Amino acid sequence: MPRSLRALSAALLAASAALTATLGLVTAPAASAAPRDEAAGAPGPVVLVGVAGLRWDDVGSLTTPALWELAHDGAVGAVAARSVTTRSCPADGWLAVSAGNRSSDMPADDGTCRALREPGESGQVPGWDDYLTSAAGQSYGAEPGLLGDVLAESGTAALGIGPGAALALAGSDGVPVGDHLRSPSTPTQLREAVRDAEADLVVVDAGQIRDPGHATAPRASAPEPDPSDDGDGATGGDLLGGDLTDGESLPGSESIVEPTRAQQAVTIDQDVDAVLSALRGENATVLLVSLADSGRVALQLAAFTGPRADGDPYAAALLTSGSTRQAGVVQTVDVTPTLLALLGVDAPALPGAEIRPTAGPATGGARMAELVDIQEQASAITRVSGGFSAQLVLAQAALFVAAAIALTRRGRGDRRPLSSVLRVLKVAALALGSAPVASFLAGLVPWWRADRPAAAFWATVLAFTAAVTVLALAGPWRRHVLGPAGVVAGVTVVVLVLDAFTGSHLVVDSPMGAHRIMAARFYGMSNQAFALITAAGVLFAVVVADMLLRAGRRRAALASVVAIGVVLVVADGAPQFGADFGGPPAILVAFAMLAIAVSGRRVSWRVVLAVAAISVAVVLGFAVLDWLRPPADRTHLGRFFATVLDGGLWDVVWRKISANLRILTSWRYLLLVVTGVALTWLVLAGPRARGGRLLGDGSPLAGLQRAYPLLRAAVAATGVALTVGFLINDSGIVVPATGIAVAVPCLVAAAAQWRRDDPDGLNDPGDAPPVPGSAAQPPPQPVPDAR
C-alpha cells in the first residue's frame, strides 16, 4: 500500500475512532440510566379519548370549557397526524393506534373518507379486510390488530366505546378484544358507561370534526349493520350517519346543512366532559388525542392528565416524544407505545416512542398560545415552500442560461458592455447562491404571525439574501476570485452546522427543511440541508485550502480539509445532532477525494474502497451507539438499526426506492440538475473549438482552471457526494438539485470575477499563455490536477 494511502487511511480511522469515542461518552449516560419498572404501569385505569380533526384553535373558554380546563391543567401538545398519505382520514388515525405504525384505509375513487361503523353480528370491524389489504400493499410493515393482540396476550382488560375504539382494539382477526359498547347517544349515557367500566384500558371514540365538503361517507365494501341497531351507533362527527346500508341515504339529505367547526367542537367538548366527570376520584390517566385531519391538513390537539407510570403527573407541561424530540410536538404513532408503557406491557419494536411531559411556559394560556403558534407556522410553511422552490429553480435556470452566454463571450472582461454584464452576473449569482441559507435564516423571524404571511416570508428571505450578498461583496475577500463565493459557502455551512448543534430549530418548518405536518423528520439534518452543507462545505474547504497552499502550507491545507470534513460528518450524522443516516458516507467520500487532491496525489480504487469501508463503519457506529440507548431515547438511527435486526430492512429500502422514483421526474428539480450540470461542464471544459475538438484552452475561462486546479477536484467531489446522497436518501433528485442550487451559482460568481480581472485578454485564442505571477494572473497553484 502506498505511503499516501496508508497515511490517509490512518487519518480517517483515527478520526472515526475519535468520533466513536466522543459519541460513546455523550450517549453513555442515557444508556446507563436506571431503567423504569416497566411492569408497574399507571396506578389507575388508562383512558384514551380519540377524536379526529380537533385543533388548538378550536378550543375556547366559553365554547369548549372542558377542553379549556384540560388544556390548562394537563400536559399539552400538537399532533402530526400524517399517515401513509399527506391527508389522514379518521380510519387512518385509529389504524395508527391499532398497528402502532403508519397505516391507511384503501383510497376511495371520489377521495372521501370512510364513515366508521360499529361491528355487526359477526363482531368483526366493518372494512377490516380492506384495512389488511391496504397495509399489505404499503411499505411501512404495519400490522393492523397489533395492539389488540398484545393486550390479549398480556391479559389486559380492555373496553372500547364507539366504532373508532373497535378499530383500535381489534385483534389481527378484526374482532375487538375485551368488551365493546356502541357509542352512547347522549353525554349522560357516555358518562355512565365510563363510570361503570371495569378495565385497565378504556378507549373512547368521542367523534370527529370535518371541514365543509369533507364529510365521511359509507363504503360499499362494508358489511350490513346489525339489524338490531336502533340508530344510536353513529359517531358524533359522522355527518352522513355511520350505519347506513349500501346505497341508502337519509330522507331529504340533499338539503342538510353541515354543522360548522365550532358546533362540532362543542359536541366533542360535551363528550370529553362526560368522560372526565366519570373519572373524577379514580386516579385515572386520560389521553385526549386528535388522531386524524379534518379534511384540511394541520397539526392536531393532544392533552394528557393524570399519573404516569412512574407516579409523576401529566400536568402544566408540554408533550414530546423520542420520535420528534420537539417540545410540544408528538405523532399519532407515539400513542400505542405510550399506552403500553402506561399499562406496564412490554411493547414490540415500533416506529413511535413514548409521549412524555417536558418543560414549557408557566401558564396554561401561554402553553396554548405556543401550540397555536406552532400550528400556524406548520401550516404557513406548506403554503409558501412550493412557491419558493419553483421561483428559486426558475431564477437559477435563467441565471445559468445568462451565465453560459456571458462567460463564453469573447472580448475584454474589463470593458463595457461586457464588464457591466459580468458585474451584474456576479451579484445575481451570489444572491441566488445565498437564497437557500436565507430561507433557513428566515425562521429567526416569526413571519407566519403577520397579517399577510406569504408577503412577510418573501420579505424576510429577500432581506437575509441581501445581507449575505452584501457580506460577500463588502470585505477584503472581495478582491479574490474565490473570496465572495467562499463567504456564501461559509455562511451556509456555519448556519446549518450551528443549527444542528443547537437543536435544528431553523431546519424545522423551513422551505428546504423538515415540515412538521409532513412528519418525515422532526429534528436533525434534512436531506436538503445535507446537500447544502456538503456542496457548500466542499467549496469552503477549497477556498481555505487554496489560501494555505498559496502560502506554501500544504500540511495545514490538508489538515483544514480533514477538520472541516470531520465537523460536517459529526453535525450531519451524530444521533444528538443531525441524525442523518445517508449523509456521512457521502461527506466522507467527498472530503477524502478533496484531501487527496490537496495532498497532490491521485485517486485510486484502493483509496475509494478504503474510504467506503470507513464510511460504512462510521455510519454503523452512529446507529449502534444510538441503538444502545433506551428505546424511548433513540433517534430514527437507532430505530432503523432495530428495524434491521427485526428483519424489516427491505421494507425501508423499498420505501426509499419508491420515494426516489416518484420524485425523479419532478420538473423543477430535473431542470435545475440539467442546467446546472451543463453550465458546470461549460465553465470547466469550455466550448468546442472551430476544429470540433474539445479544447479547454479554447474557452475564455481556460485560465481559471490553470490558476485554481482545485476547482475541478471540488466539482468531482461534490458530484460524487450528491450522487451517493441521491442513491442512499429518500429524496431522490432533490439532493443533487439542492446541492447545485448553492454550488453552481458560487462557481458562476467566481468565473464572472475571473473574466473581469482579465484586463489584458490573455485568455483569448491565439494569445500567449498567461505569465505566472503577472499582475493580470494570480500565481498558479502548486497542486497537480487531481482526477
Confidence of residue 716 (pLDDT cuts 50, 70, 90): confident
- pLDDT exceeds cutoff 50 at 25: no
Per residue in 453-472, pLDDT (tens digit) is 999 999 999 999 999 999 99
Per residue in 545-564, pLDDT (tens digit) is 999 999 999 999 999 999 99
Q: Which three cell numbers stand for residue 420?
A: 457591466
Confidence of residue 733 (pLDDT cuts 50, 70, 90): confident
Q: Which long-range contacts (CB under 8 A, 24 or more apart) does 105-112 make?
A: 105/130, 105/131, 105/134, 106/130, 106/131, 106/133, 106/134, 108/217, 108/219, 110/217, 112/214, 112/215, 112/216, 112/217
* Mean pLDDT value of segment 599-623: 69
Chain centroid to Cα 294, Å, comes to 23
Q: Which three cell numbers stand for residue 256?
A: 342538510
* Mean pLDDT value of segment 81-88: 91
Per residue in 102-161, pLDDT (tens digit) is 999 999 988 899 999 999 888 999 999 999 999 988 878 899 999 999 999 999 999 999
Tell me, yes or no, whether 276 lies in a domain.
yes
Please indicate whether residue 656 or residue 301 has the higher confidence score (pLDDT): 301
Nearest to 78 by CA among 329, 264, 327: 329
Residue 426 and residue 317 share a domain: no
Report the percentage of the chain scoring pLDDT > 90.
51
Amino acid letter, 17: A
312: DSSP letter:
-
Query: φ, ψ for residue 76 (rounded to 5)?
Result: -125, 155
Scan for cell 401529566, then name that residue. Answer: 314
Paired sense of beta strands 317-321 and 75-80, if any: parallel
- Rg of the Cα atoms in the chain: 30
- pLDDT exceeds cutoff 80 at 758: no
Beta bridge partners of 301: 78
Tell me, yes or no, whether 18 lies in a domain.
no
Angle, CA 182 vertex, CA 178 and CA 184 arms, to 5°: 130
| Cα(128)–Cα(172) distance, integer angstroms | 9
Do 93 and 519 contact (CB within 8 A), yes or no?
no
Per residue in 190-237, pLDDT (tens digit) is 999 999 999 999 999 999 999 998 999 988 654 444 434 443 333 333
Residue 327 and residue 410 share a domain: no
Per residue in 740-754, pLDDT (tens digit) is 999 999 999 998 888
Tell me, yes or no, whether 649 lies in a domain.
no
Residue 441 and residue 360 share a domain: no
Report the range of poorest mean pLDDT among 232-236, 587-591, 600-604, 710-714: 232-236
Tell me, yes or no, whether 173 lies in a domain.
yes
- pLDDT exceeds cutoff 80 at 636: no
| Cα(407)–Cα(712) distance, integer angstroms | 17
Per residue in 262-284, pLDDT (tens digit) is 999 999 999 999 999 999 988 99
Domain termination residue (choose one: 373, 406, 437): 373
pLDDT at position 520: 81
- The mean pLDDT value of the chain amounts to 81
Report the range of poorest mean pLDDT among 428-432, 611-615, 646-650: 646-650
Beta bridge partners of 318: 76, 358
Residue 206 and residue 130 share a domain: yes
Please indicate whether residue 727 or residue 240 has the higher confidence score (pLDDT): 727
Tell me, yes or no, whether 669 lies in a domain.
yes
| Cα(210)–Cα(208) distance, integer angstroms | 6
Residue 435 and residue 365 share a domain: no
pLDDT at position 40: 61
Tell me, yes or no, whether 785 lies in a domain.
no
- pLDDT exceeds cutoff 50 at 605: yes
Please indicate whether residue 489 or residue 680 has the higher confidence score (pLDDT): 489
pLDDT at position 700: 59
Do 534 and 586 contact (CB within 8 A), yes or no?
yes
pLDDT at position 354: 94
Residue 363 and residue 506 share a domain: no
Do 703 and 772 contact (CB within 8 A), yes or no?
no
Q: Give the domain CATH number at 184.
A: 3.40.720
Beta bridge partners of 180: 160
pLDDT at position 677: 78
Confidence of residue 735 (pLDDT cuts 50, 70, 90): confident
**How many domains does the chain contain in total?**
2
Domain termination residue (choose one: 339, 373, 407): 373
Per residue in 225-262, pLDDT (tens digit) is 443 444 333 333 333 333 333 333 444 444 456 789 99
Residue 353 and residue 435 share a domain: no
Give the pTM: 0.80
Tell me, yes or no, whether 769 lies in a domain.
no
- pLDDT exceeds cutoff 80 at 26: no
- The range of the structural domain enclosing residue 352 comes to 55-373
Do 105 and 130 contact (CB within 8 A), yes or no?
yes
Residue 573 and residue 612 share a domain: yes
pLDDT at position 232: 37
Tell me, yes or no, whether 4 lies in a domain.
no
Scan for cell 490517509, then name that residue. Answer: 8
| Alpha-helix residue ranges (DSSP H) falling in 33-162 | 65-73, 90-99, 128-136, 146-154
Domain termination residue (choose one: 315, 347, 373): 373
Scan for cell 497552499, then name that residue. Answer: 549
Residue 410 and residue 357 share a domain: no
| Cα(495)–Cα(687) distance, integer angstroms | 37
Residue 433 and residue 291 share a domain: no
Report the percentage of the chain scoring pLDDT > 70.
75
Residue 612 and residue 494 share a domain: yes
| Cα(204)–Cα(47) distance, integer angstroms | 8
Per residue in 508-528, pLDDT (tens digit) is 999 998 899 988 888 888 889
Residue 165 and residue 298 share a domain: yes
Reduced to 3 states (helix: H, G, I; strand: E, B; else coil), residue 492 is: helix
- pLDDT exceeds cutoff 80 at 364: yes
| Cα(176)–Cα(169) distance, integer angstroms | 5
